[in-house]
Amino acid sequence: MKVLKLHPLMTVSLLQMQFQRLLSCNIAVYMRNSPANAFDTLGEAGFPEEMLIEFPIDETLSLREFEEELEDKFNFTLELCNKDHKPFTNKSMHLFQLIASLSDGMKHNNEYNAQLDITLERLLNNNRQGPQQIAC
């Protein structure tokens, strides 16, 4: 089962990396109807939770249903896109069809996946320790 991990301090670029790893596609995240910057956090985009949320991905949902479910649950807008960052036009296609069509012939890069896991772990550890003060 694929699990999407969301945290208010996670950046849009880290969320995009997760989607590339889990669903082999890109996403566009919007803040107040404008494309979000890669360095904006999910909290800034409207994510209401104050902790890490693990969200299981139901691969039987259509692209439209999946986007709407995430928007309703987590209060930020996103759109699934192909590798060229163009939104998919067939929103009735199911996630498992998307994964199969985009994953054919592609190898998963373990170094890339490990880098994402390390980044998520670092984010969690920093959040547990609270704000850091920098000595000048």
The span from the CA of 46 to the CA of 66, in Å, is: 18
pLDDT over 50 (residue 80)? yes
- pLDDT score of 55: 95
* CB contact burial 59-83 (16+ within 10 A = b; e otherwise): beebbeebbeebeeebebbbbbbee
What share of the chain in percent tops pLDDT 70?
74
Residues 84-125: tens digit of each pLDDT:
889 999 999 999 988 777 655 444 444 445 455 556 666 667
Are 48 and 16 contacting, i.e. CB atoms less than 8 angstroms apart?
Answer: no
Are 26 and 33 contacting, i.e. CB atoms less than 8 angstroms apart?
Answer: no
pLDDT over 50 (residue 66)? yes
Looking at the DSSP bridge assignments, the partners of residue 27 are 80
